[in-house]
Structure 1
Amino acid sequence: MAFDADEEILQDFLVEAGEILEKLSEQLVDLEQHPDDSDLLNAIFRGFHTVKGGAGFLQLDALVNCCHSAENVFDILRNHKRKVDSELMDVVLEALDNVNAMFEQVRNHEEMTPAPNSLIAALDALAQPEGSAPEPVVEEPVSDSGEPQDGGDITDDEFEQLLDALHGDSSPGKSSAETSGKAVSDSGDAKATSGDDEITDDEFEKLLDELHGKGQFAGAPAADEARPDQDEKPAASGKPGDDLITDDEFEKLLDELHGQGGSPTVADAKASKQGGAVRPTPQPSAAAGSKGKAEEPKPKPEAKPAQKAAAPARDTAPAADTTVRVDTKRLDDIMNMVGELVLVRNRLQRLGSESEDEHMHKAVSNLDVVTTDLQAAVMQTRMQPIKKVFGRFPRVVRDLARNLKKEVNLVMHGEETDLDKNLVEALSDPLVHLVRNSVDHGIEAPDVREKAGKPRQGTVTLSAEQEGDHILLSIQDDGAGMDPEVLRRKAVEKGVYDQDAADRLTDNECFNLIFAAGFSTKEQISDVSGRGVGMDVVKTKIGQLNGQISIVSELGKGSSIIIKVPLTLAIMPTLMIKLDDQSFALPLVNVVEIFHLDLTKTNVVDGRECIVVRDKVFPLFHIKRWLVNSPAGQKEPDNAHVVIVAMGTRQVGFVVDQLVGQEEVVIKPLGRALQGTPGMAGATITGDGRIALIIDVPSLLQQYS
């Protein structure tokens, strides 16, 4: 394994190959649904080919071999010699899993575990035309792009033989044995003429002419140099007059010279077979060959112009470097500094509002605009499309549906919606569980759906959209939906509620029971679900992200789970409140509504103080009793402000003394003495320079209520 290679080259390979492998998983599942999509077949073929090429350059032989075998399968598929089916996709997806595993080992600088021989053999069998025995053939099959499908490095003798063919030392009428003998005997002549073993510019020009047609990469050919078979060759470039070789043409040239395998570890037997498939054009006639040999010592007039024509490519190359790789820690540090700037901005705004100096007001206003723009720009650098999470779901749904013998179609919307990179990583596991839950619990078996008058194939829809400074994620299925009565019965059986309390639950409250720890409607535990752990973890994780989760379901029609999370966790919009004279910050994402309340008009239900707002009942909590040591004997006020907050699926009312207003804050971790204090997410500095504690609503309720 060539980990001693240039680290920069290795990192470039990891970035490029990582993006390709992410796409391949989604493309392969898409191919199973659209097996005749030739563009998709070619894209997958190019994906494996590109990863193989980069791995071959770094001498990652195990990775090369697995990608090469997979590439051969797709070469057969795109040439319509075999059809895509589920069994073939199972093998290819297993190969992709092995490639991903080896890729991670390369990323971690570990020794690679090669793909099992049985898998390589299965791929090689699928790389044969349908109906043919998987036996080695004498001559390598050539794809419609002119690329041989197998092979290794070309040997010195084979390269000499290729040069002899170019210089006319073999004719089309000679047998392969005579050609081989001629190559050996003439190799000394070629070396004697050139004076060393290196290929000359003239010979390289002729090799290009053989591969791509005369005149493609040099000046206009002289009349006496025109070959009779030139018109029979298809031009490799779409523009006959173009002097620059394209990336695709250079790829093909490397494949012609070194074989499709591209790895020095490929068996010599494959390399010897490659000799018969290197030349895609007919050999030149004897007359043309003798003429070429006689002129060999003389430099070709086209050689110099060809080198000059290639010069502009080097001049324009730097223009492609429009991106730069930056360590995410550096972005986090910049974001922290912007956060400090926001705090200073808030302080100056408060001081400016107390000043009557007009110039001061203008300066603070300009600072506010610049700080807001800078904050948005830095946040944008941390943003990633949620497609990085969505990209794994086609494979998850496909594998789970086959395991459960269900027919499921996954539809995704809003994949380009941007989200803070920390949230993208944090949402990955909860979303995977919710999607698996929809396939397992929501979508019925094909026969059951057919009896209910539904299509045999169920649909799971995954969507994302931005709403203000929040992201809305939705996981929807057209399955059986949830039965509130079943959920009530399960709640009583598991001791979550007694019968009277369960009967008073609304349908929506019944749906939210699935988030209770240990709660499951599955009668039998399987390797997919049934232990009642997953949804509880999902709710906890979403709560840690200051998000909300809600469920809408209709029996027989399906269910929808909606998640609302902030765009970023770095700078948080809050509602500043006061309890006595101490300031606290409530995350604005948790705030539903605010109103003034006469505290003498409350009700008591099940021993808990409640209020009724628009026919909805909310538990009422005086958080000052939890968070502030009020003087003894202080009289409770008759009127107060109530803030309705939501966490997960619950909504409660917090009684507060004073509302200060909305303010953006930067979360600072609590000191060692206060770390882990229940109900506190951190601290911040307010606009008036005081310290305010940031309330963690779920933790606060769990600790005190």
Structure 2
Amino acid sequence: MSFDVDEDILQDFLIEAGEILELLSEQLVQLENDPENRDLLNAIFRGFHTVKGGAGFLSLTELVDTCHGAENVFDTLRNGQRSVSAELMDVILQSLDTINAQFAQVQAREEPIPATPELLQTLTALSRPESEDEAPIAAPAAAEKSTKVEGDGGVDEITEDEFESLLDELHGNKKATAAPAPKPAASDDDITDDEFEALLDEIHGGGKAPQKAQQETPKAPAKPAASGNDKAKGDEISDDEFESLLDDLHGKGKFEAKQPAPAAEQTAAAKAPAPAASSAGKAPAKPTAPAAETTVRVDTKRLDDIMNMVGELVLVRNRLLSLDSKQDIDDEELSKTIANLDVVTGDLQGAVMKTRMQPVKKVFGRFPRVVRDLARTLKKEISLELEGEETDLDKNLVEALADPLVHLVRNAVDHGIETPDVREKNGKPRVGNVKLAASQEGDHILLTITDDGAGMDAEKLKSIAISKGILDEDSAARMSDEEAYNLIFAAGFSTKVEISDVSGRGVGMDVVKTKINQLNGSVKIDSELGRGTILQIKLPLTLAILPTLMVLVAKQTFALPLAQVSEIIGLDQELINTVDGQRTMIVREKAIPLFYLEHWLRRGADRKQRPTVGHVVVVQLGTQQVGFVVDGLIGQEEVVIKPLDRLLQGTPGMAGATITSDGGIALILDTPNLLKHYARR
């Protein structure tokens, strides 16, 4: 392929094909579970066909060949000459993987690597009727050659004679075109006049009578102008109809002609057999005008730029509100203006945030394939249930969540769900259930992964942690069941005895926890032995605007993410003790570690001098609680996160910076990272 094509055309193909390929993965798994679903079968066929057409336009021959092989298989399935089976779906999913790999290479502006000859031969064999499977399979399939395109590598190309012939067919002048242009050589792909008539009937809902009426009209031109300027209104066809007719010229019309029309068209088609004379005086119905485009594609960088400008506006709004509250302004008009700016800024901020939102289905769509493949590998029977797919989430969060959720779902399938025989012995259905749900709760989103598997044994988890040196026996004895469940997020922890390609290396779950913490989220696990496990992930809807608690430490302002703040209490020296060298404070009859932020934030601070007055901000990290001692509280504030300067990038415990309502600069604390480095020191 030459990448000298118009960049806009290439980008349109990448966006459209990317959406189709993403959807195909989910549709193929649905088809395996519902093989009689004709609408789904047709949708998958159209998906492969559309990607093939775009790839052909860009001369991506390797991608065209793979799509063409899969498309031929689905043409055979639509004809009823072959049935859907797990083995067939294995091959189709393998071909989809190859297409995705080729597509990724095109995205990287690299030449796509051709599919393996074995895969193409298998697709060719599957494109033949099932009754012929017992016969020896020839390497090159004649059917595949017959639908190969003519010309320089484009697909669906036709000659001028074929185009003229096609227009004659549309306008009822088939007789005037005595010799249609030659089509690809294989006679198996030719369609008869009757089949073509049936196809037009299907498209136009009983178009035979109008066509005959046109043939009897003396003034009907022998051939319409190729430009289409003089066409009758009733003879106009849409792009989809034209593409369908092009397919017929290249040998894909047989099945289309035989398929039943949709319900609305069947009603019209039922009237088609009426005598020609009865409809001779009627003009063809005027086609409905296409609906106006209601969506527009916008580069995400533009959205980010707009979001940054809105962020600056939010900061100005906060500044004005702060001035209004601190100073007694007698000017009523100025106060009203500030209040109006507050409302407008809030509405604009919400509207811009919505443009960045995407349904969580973008993430959920990959899991039917993940669960299907993993279940076949592990010889388990599993059904996947998806709920709340339309819940909106910030685009950046959607992308960041993909890998952590894959880890968690794979963990539920591998560790949670038992084999069918074991489930049957325990009085459970042979088919296990995994449910993935999403819902919005205020300014947060709640993701839930539920399975009805074996559940987790808290005592077993503790013993494994002790054997791996993650815990000592005293700590394990004091640990609650919920805290024991969270041991699965410890680095190097695994309950698998044998290492496999699926799991057992103790890598993955600790990465999941770290990633969710970086997104200012939290994870909660609840499990019951023998009944199953529920894992909940709570995340902010967006990362662009962050609700924070502004605090003072050594006369400097810092921001703590409000989502992690559990409560704020006064510093009480009588409740403070030292346990194993660690300062702790009794909060609600539980000792929590106490950290003095001034010791960490100020180099050379005397650790022996500890403030006797101040506040303790209790922060919740998973099941753990810690207390940060601060000098003073400023209040809650929505801030816009700004990246740190290059000199400060990578500073431990710092997530970014923001401009406060009084015009100053505050550093935003990265609590999990801060604790890690505090513990090392």
> Which deviations, in whole Å up to 9, do the C-alpha atoms of 1:96-130 show, x marking residues without a partner?
11111222222222212222221122112212222
The match for 1:365 is 339
Counterparts of residues 620-631 of structure 1 (less than 5 Å): 620-628=594-602
The match for 2:310 is 338
The match for 1:256 is 248
The match for 1:355 is 328
Q: Following TM superposition, by how much is the alpha carbon of 1:280 offset from its aligned partner in structure 2, in angstroms?
A: 7.7
The match for 1:288 is none
Whole-angstrom distance in 1 between the partners of 2:607 and 2:502? 57
Q: Which amino acid aligns with 1:479?
A: G
Q: Which amino acid aligns with 1:339?
A: G
Whole-angstrom distance in 2 between the partners of 1:222 and 1:87? 51
Is structure 2 residue 656 aligned with structure 1 residue 664? no
Identical counterparts, % of pairs: 61
The match for 1:245 is 237
Contact 2:234/2:285 (8 A) holds in 1: no
Is structure 2 residue 110 aligned with structure 1 residue 118? no
Q: Following TM superposition, by how much is the alpha carbon of 1:324 offset from its aligned partner in structure 2, in angstroms?
A: 2.9
SS state at 2:501 partner: coil
Q: Which amino acid aligns with 2:244?
A: K
Whole-angstrom distance in 2 between the partners of 1:410 and 1:352? 54
Q: Which amino acid aligns with 1:94?
A: Q
Counterparts of residues 179-198 of structure 1 (less than 5 Å): none
SS state at 2:214 partner: coil
Contact 1:259/1:278 (8 A) holds in 2: no
Q: Which has the larger radius of gyration?
A: 1
Q: Following TM superposition, by how much is the alpha carbon of 1:61 offset from its aligned partner in structure 2, in angstroms?
A: 2.4
Is structure 2 residue 560 aligned with structure 1 residue 586? yes
Q: Following TM superposition, by how much is the alpha carbon of 1:675 offset from its aligned partner in structure 2, in angstroms?
A: 3.0
Whole-angstrom distance in 2 between the partners of 1:556 and 1:537? 27
Counterparts of residues 262-411 of structure 1 (less than 5 Å): 320-353=292-325, 354-356=327-329, 357-411=331-385
The match for 2:99 is 99
Q: Which amino acid aligns with 1:328?
A: T
Whole-angstrom distance in 1 between the partners of 2:346 and 2:210? 54
> Which deviations, in whole Å up to 9, do the C-alpha atoms of 1:530-582 show, x marking residues without a partner?
11121111111111111111211111111122111211111211011122422
The match for 2:153 is none
Q: Which amino acid aligns with 1:453?
A: G
Whole-angstrom distance in 2 between the partners of 1:466 and 1:658? 33
Counterparts of residues 468-483 of structure 1 (less than 5 Å): 468-483=442-457
SS state at 2:405 partner: helix
Whole-angstrom distance in 2 between the partners of 1:508 and 1:514? 11
- Residues 570, 595 of structure 1: alpha-carbon distance in 2 compared, 3 angstrom cutoff: same
Whole-angstrom distance in 2 between the partners of 1:370 and 1:426? 31
What TM-score do you get using the length of structure 1 for normalisation? 0.79
What TM-score do you get using the length of structure 2 for normalisation? 0.81
Q: Following TM superposition, by how much is the alpha carbon of 1:597 offset from its aligned partner in structure 2, in angstroms?
A: 4.5
Counterparts of residues 620-699 of structure 1 (less than 5 Å): 620-628=594-602, 638-699=612-673
Whole-angstrom distance in 2 between the partners of 1:443 and 1:44? 30
Contact 1:539/1:549 (8 A) holds in 2: yes
> Which deviations, in whole Å up to 9, do the C-alpha atoms of 1:430-480 show, x marking residues without a partner?
111111111111111111111111111111111111111111111121111
SS state at 1:474 partner: strand
The match for 1:568 is 542
The match for 2:530 is 556
Q: Following TM superposition, by how much is the alpha carbon of 1:209 offset from its aligned partner in structure 2, in angstroms?
A: 7.8
- Residues 167, 703 of structure 1: alpha-carbon distance in 2 compared, 3 angstrom cutoff: same
Q: Which runs of 5+ in 1 are unaligned?
A: 143-147, 171-178, 185-206, 228-239, 261-273, 282-305
Whole-angstrom distance in 1 between the partners of 2:149 and 2:33? 34
Contact 1:386/1:419 (8 A) holds in 2: yes
Whole-angstrom distance in 2 between the partners of 1:473 and 1:155? 51
Q: Following TM superposition, by how much is the alpha carbon of 1:320 offset from its aligned partner in structure 2, in angstroms?
A: 3.3
Q: Following TM superposition, by how much is the alpha carbon of 1:85 offset from its aligned partner in structure 2, in angstroms?
A: 1.0
Counterparts of residues 67-216 of structure 1 (less than 5 Å): 67-133=67-133, 150=147, 152-153=149-150, 166-167=174-175, 212=200
Whole-angstrom distance in 1 between the partners of 2:605 and 2:130? 87
Q: Which amino acid aligns with 1:389?
A: V
- Residues 161, 570 of structure 1: alpha-carbon distance in 2 compared, 3 angstrom cutoff: closer
- Measured on the aligned residues, the alpha-carbon RMSD in Å equals 3.7
Q: Which amino acid aligns with 1:510?
A: A
The match for 1:526 is 500
Q: Which amino acid aligns with 2:370?
A: V
- Residues 225, 149 of structure 1: alpha-carbon distance in 2 compared, 3 angstrom cutoff: farther
Q: Following TM superposition, by how much is the alpha carbon of 1:211 offset from its aligned partner in structure 2, in angstroms?
A: 6.7
The match for 1:492 is 466
Whole-angstrom distance in 2 between the partners of 1:642 and 1:390? 40
Equivalent of 1:456 in 430, 440, 443: 430
Contact 1:433/1:534 (8 A) holds in 2: yes
Q: Which amino acid aligns with 1:403?
A: T
Whole-angstrom distance in 2 between the partners of 1:642 and 1:106? 55
Whole-angstrom distance in 2 between the partners of 1:604 and 1:385? 49
The match for 1:18 is 18
Whole-angstrom distance in 2 between the partners of 1:434 and 1:149? 47
Q: Which amino acid aligns with 1:221?
A: Q
Whole-angstrom distance in 2 between the partners of 1:540 and 1:278? 53
Q: Following TM superposition, by how much is the alpha carbon of 1:612 offset from its aligned partner in structure 2, in angstroms?
A: 3.4
- Residues 216, 248 of structure 1: alpha-carbon distance in 2 compared, 3 angstrom cutoff: farther
Q: Between Structure 1 and Structure 2, how many residues are aligned?
A: 611
Q: Which amino acid aligns with 1:694?
A: I
> Which deviations, in whole Å up to 9, do the C-alpha atoms of 1:157-200 show, x marking residues without a partner?
99599999944797xxxxxxxx99xx99xxxxxxxxxxxxxxxx
Is structure 2 residue 539 aligned with structure 1 residue 541? no
Whole-angstrom distance in 2 between the partners of 1:454 and 1:633? 58
Q: Which amino acid aligns with 2:241?
A: E
- Residues 633, 8 of structure 1: alpha-carbon distance in 2 compared, 3 angstrom cutoff: closer
Whole-angstrom distance in 1 between the partners of 2:233 and 2:651? 74
Contact 1:552/1:561 (8 A) holds in 2: yes
Contact 1:471/1:567 (8 A) holds in 2: yes
Q: Which runs of 5+ in 2 are unaligned?
A: 151-156, 183-194, 202-206, 221-231, 259-282
Q: Following TM superposition, by how much is the alpha carbon of 1:637 offset from its aligned partner in structure 2, in angstroms?
A: 5.6
Contact 2:443/2:540 (8 A) holds in 1: yes
- Residues 604, 259 of structure 1: alpha-carbon distance in 2 compared, 3 angstrom cutoff: same
Whole-angstrom distance in 1 between the partners of 2:342 and 2:411? 46
The match for 1:423 is 397
Q: Which amino acid aligns with 1:121?
A: Q
> Which deviations, in whole Å up to 9, do the C-alpha atoms of 1:249-296 show, x marking residues without a partner?
212221233444xxxxxxxxxxxxx9xx89989xxxxxxxxxxxxxxx
- Residues 74, 555 of structure 1: alpha-carbon distance in 2 compared, 3 angstrom cutoff: same
SS state at 2:131 partner: coil
Whole-angstrom distance in 2 between the partners of 1:255 and 1:413? 38
Contact 2:599/2:606 (8 A) holds in 1: no
Q: Following TM superposition, by how much is the alpha carbon of 1:155 offset from its aligned partner in structure 2, in angstroms?
A: 8.5
Contact 2:577/2:584 (8 A) holds in 1: yes
Q: Following TM superposition, by how much is the alpha carbon of 1:672 offset from its aligned partner in structure 2, in angstroms?
A: 3.6
Equivalent of 1:601 in 564, 575, 587: 575
